[in-house]
Structure 1
Amino acid sequence: MAIAAASPPPTATEDNVRLLLPGFLSPETCKELEFVHRSCGTAGYRPSVVSTSLPHLAATGCGHLLLPFVPIRERLRDAVESFFSCHFDLFVEFTGLVSWCKGSSIGWHSDDNKPYLRQRAFTAVCYLNNHGKDFKGGLLKFQDGEPSTVIPVAGDAVIYTADNRNVHCVDEVTEGERLTLTLWFTRDSSFDEDPKLLSFLSQTSLSYEPADQNSYIPLPASDNMYWFSYDQSGFDIRCARIHILGFSFRASSDEDSKSTSGAPADDPIELLGKPLRIGRADDVFGKIFANSLHALQVVQFYYWKAPELAARRNQTTGGSETVCYPTIQVQQSSGMELPLPCNHGLAQTIFGSYSNVDSVIEWDDVVLALAMWENYSEELKRKLSIFLPNWLSNGTIFVLDPSEPTQVCGEGN
């Protein structure tokens, strides 16, 4: 969860109500947040948008994936409080990852332009990928003041007031997927998102004891949350994400394949919440995943860590290191693909092509990625089990050192 260091921002003036912070997030942090979003995201609040909110993570058994956000939220709040001279006065109203996909845009507006948004005081947007390389269009433009246009660069952040001093728009995304981390800050404590998050976390199988084995397996939300509608067509986001990476969901056994082949037309999508496998061309990975999100997280993790996996494989080939792979059989079969409704052509058009997808994969690397994902998830769950009592005691989420003994802190953070 490395985060790039940033110099203290200058102080805002009446004529200077926004600030660009280059390199605010490290490249590795951008990739980690991309992994979280592309393995957990659901249909968004606007057409052609996919979103991942922190309450959604907590409610779907992925509360441990909140941890990468915690230091970022604190640093952004510090930057906003310093630049706008409102020290110790702000609460985080919303934290979320957002994809602006092909066809998405928003016209001129301020972020507090609705009666139910009046509590918003400041906005922070962090870019997780690059304009021109990963997507086209999607420039952030302001009606007045400087900078008047922000070209998204991975790691950069922009902070600004949410009122009519920063009326802005986002140009239509014409290709690819524009990834952002967006936060809104408020001075009204009744809109603080932390109490709601803590309530979710305390109710979703988290305890103060070490996490149970496999308790990090994600639990899908209702199927309609993953349905991406577009004109008269659409697709399931989980199917689309796995398909664009060259995989498909397969039945967990040949018997399951036979039983699902005759499933009613309105039922197949429910198979995504049941045990399944993944395949690629005629290869079927032997691991049975608890559900589609479980499989999708492992595949997305594989692509996040692909350079590291390839480097370890090359070191092994050169004789400088030995990598022990768990034994998971890869078999050949062409009759096990689940009969899932998904307009793959539309999904390719909306999401575009991922630049790091290879036509050939190493199944041994997938096996290693699975083990690494489990270790990554177990470690986050362990840290969360340490942090949660302190967070609940203080009623707020804040950075803690996991190496220090757990203790009940006083009020504040």
Structure 2
Amino acid sequence: MAESEHPRLILHKFLSPDLCKELEFIHKSCSTIGYRKNVFSTTLSHLIATNSPHLILPFIPIQKLKEKVEEFFGCEYELFIEFTGLISWSKGASISWHSDDNRPYLKQRDYAAVCYLNSYGVDFGGGLFHFQDGEPTTFIPMAGDVLIYTADSRNVHSVEEITKGERLTLTLWFTRDKSHDEDVKLISFLTKCPFNCSDPSPSDYLPLPASQNMYWFPPEQSSTYQSGFDIRFARLHVLGYKPYSSDASSLTKKHSSSDFSDILLEPLSVVRGNELFDKEFANLSHLLQMVQFYHWKAPQLQRSSEFKMEPIKVVPISTSHRENICRLTVEFLKDEHLAETIFHCMSCGENDWVNFCGTVDLWEAYTSKLWHKMVVILPKWVANQSIFYEPNGWV
């Protein structure tokens, strides 16, 4: 039990490297504009609302952190998880000295746990975590480590400004107040999802975008869309990809932003370099999820016999292709330099459309597996009004 004047706990390598990468995939596929400058977030309720409820399953085993918090602070069986969210900090983001209870509407929060998904000095610069008092005074974020502390004036803290890259965390807040139990709200949302189908088709779990202003950076420009960028478009760009739609050829400068935004809700293909992968994805969110899945799995992939070796149609981009790509880029990536500064350009290796095509099948298998797990476990969650991890009940 914690007896320090500034109670805090560090768990090294609590999250596995594989889980860190999986959560990074989810966040970079689904994130929206966050709650402070240059911060992006993915909440569990957002995943459910955008037809990706199955993606909350990788979070569930991490709930065992609650037991660690209860044991360390001597409050066994007293806590509820009040909030769970993936949060990333890009260049320019920081926190000045504050405690997590200094906002009246968050007084219910008793403890915080910050799980680090990537590493200082490797994936990002800056972003060191400092406590105003007590030991340790500075915490260096490393993938898999967890920092736990009381969300009150005993642990006033700050985060240094991010100087490069993107600092990724999974943050959980705990409360003694049952009325703020996150599980009840999430289960209510989940019961509205179509999990009555135990043998879904891929169309059942395709991601659906939220409103356009939730993806526009900086947020203050989302009313006019005259500067900045769509963060989904930008994440594709920094990996070397561009969306393509033949419908873009019909749009001109006379059309409104909503006319262009409608294209992002329709089928899109993907371009890399001078080649077009001639397969349509349901919408921009689906395309981004597929590219991020490929980027997650690419280091493990080889041209494998397990891939369905269907004909892969890749065509050189033509002048008309370029014009359509340019139309979309001008509309959704108005500040290319800012996008590259915020998200940091990364290499995804050479064009390998064979592996990319195989990844489409892997994504469907991954998503279908999670969906089937959710079909099995959801009735138990509903009956208990609690989200819990039961490995033997997942098939």
TM-score, normalised to structure 1, is 0.88
Q: Secondary structure at the match of 1:67?
A: helix
Find the aligned partners of 2:360 and 2:191 in 1 and give their Cα distance: 28
Q: 1:159-181: CA deviations, max 9, x gaps?
A: 00001100001111111110000
Does residue 127 of the first structure (1) align with residue 100 of the second (2)? Answer: no
Inter-partner Cα distance in structure 1 for 2:380 and 2:98: 39
Per-residue deviation, 1:285: 1.0
- Report SS of the residue matched to 1:86: coil
Q: For 1:305, what is the secondary structure of its paired residue?
A: helix
**How far did residue 230 of structure 1 move?**
7.2
Write out per-residue CA displacement over residues 54-94 of structure 1, whole angstroms, 9 at most, x where no aligned residue. 00000000000000000012x21111011111111110000
Structure 2 partner of 1:374: 364
Q: 1:391 aligned to 2:381?
A: yes
Structure holding more helix per residue: 2
1:35 aligned partner: 25
Q: Distance in 2 between matches of 1:208 and 1:264?
A: 40
The Cα shift of 1:325 comes to 2.4
1:292 to 254, 270, 284: 284
User: Percent of aligned positions with the same letter in both sequences?
Assistant: 51
One-letter amino acid of the counterpart of residue 196, structure 1: K
Whole-angstrom CA distance in 2 between matches of 1:322 and 1:392: 37
2:262 aligned partner: 270
Shift of 1:213: 4.0
Report the Cα distance in structure 1 between the residues aligned to 2:316 and 2:71, rounded to whole angstroms: 59
Does 1:239 find its partner at 2:233?
A: yes
> One-letter code of the match for 2:31?
G
Residue identity opposite 1:328 in structure 2: I
Q: Please provide the CA RMSD for this pair.
A: 1.8
> Is 2:168 aligned against 1:179?
yes
Match of 2:38 among 42, 48, 52: 48
Out of 327, 331, 345, the residue aligned to residue 311 of structure 2 is 327
Q: How big is the shift at 1:324?
A: 3.5
**1:111-140 per-position Cα deviation (integer Å, ceiling 9, x unaligned):** 111111110000000111111111111111
Q: How does 1:105-120 map to 2 (within 5 A)?
A: 105-120=94-109
What is the aligned partner in structure 1 of residue 344 from structure 2?
352
**Structure 2 counterparts to residues 20-31 of structure 1, below 5 A:** 20-31=10-21
Q: Which runs of 5+ in 2 are unaligned?
A: 222-226
SS at 1:174 equivalent: strand
Once residues 373 and 273 of structure 2 are traced to their aligned partners in structure 1, the CA distance between those partners, rounded to angstroms, is: 39
In structure 1, stretches of 5+ residues that fail to align are 1-10, 406-413
Per mean C-alpha deviation after superposition, the further-off stretch among 286-295 and 195-204 is 195-204
**Deviation digits for residues 359-387 of structure 1 (CA, Å, limit 9, x no counterpart):** x2200010011110010000000100111
With over 3 angstroms needed to count, the CA separation of the structure-2 counterparts of 1:230 and 1:350, relative to structure 1, is: farther
Counterparts of 2:198 and 2:168 in 1: how far apart (Å)?
A: 35
Aligned residues of 2:12 and 2:144 also touching (Cα < 8 A): yes
1:305 corresponds, among 287, 297, 304, to: 297
Tell me how far 1:47 sits from its aligned partner.
Answer: 1.0
The code of the aligned residue for 1:271 comes to I
What are the Cα deviations for residues 192-218 of structure 1, in whole angstroms up to 9, with x where unaligned? 111111111111323364434431100
1:81 corresponds to which residue? 70
The C-alpha deviation readout for 1:298-353, integer Å capped at 9, x for no partner, is 100001001111xx32xx5xxxx674423331112243325233122110011112
Give the residue type in structure 1 aligned to 2:244. Answer: R
Q: Match of 1:196?
A: 185
Q: Tell me whether 1:363 sits opposite 2:353 in the alignment.
A: yes
Matched, 1:163 2:152: yes
- Counting matched residue pairs gives 381
Q: What is the TM-score of this pair, normalised by structure 2?
A: 0.92
- Matching of residues 243-254 of structure 1 within 5 Å: 243-251=237-245, 253=246
Structure 1 CA distance for aligned equivalents of residues 272 and 100 of structure 2: 43
Contact 1:223/1:270, CA 8 A, preserved across alignment: no
Cα 1:404/1:378, change in 2 over 3 Å: closer
1:278 is paired with a residue of what secondary structure? strand
Per-residue CA distance 1:235-262 (angstroms, 9 max, x = gap): 10110001111000001x4xx2432356
Alignment correspondent of 1:149? 138
- Partner Cα separation in structure 2 for residue 105 and residue 96 of structure 1: 18
Is the Cα–Cα contact under 8 Å of residues 110 and 152 in structure 2 kept in the other structure? yes
Are the structure 2 counterparts of residues 386 and 237 from structure 1 closer, same or farther at C-alpha, using a change threshold of 3 Å?
Answer: same
Read off the aligned partner of 2:261 and give its amino acid letter: I
CA contact (8 A) 1:50 1:98 kept: yes
Shift of 1:184: 0.3
The corresponding residue for 2:224 is none
Question: 1:4 aligns to what?
Answer: none
Aligned mates of 1:180, 1:214 — CA distance in 2: 30
Contact 1:208 1:388 (8 Å CA) reproduced:
no
Residue 214 of structure 1 pairs with residue 203 of structure 2: yes
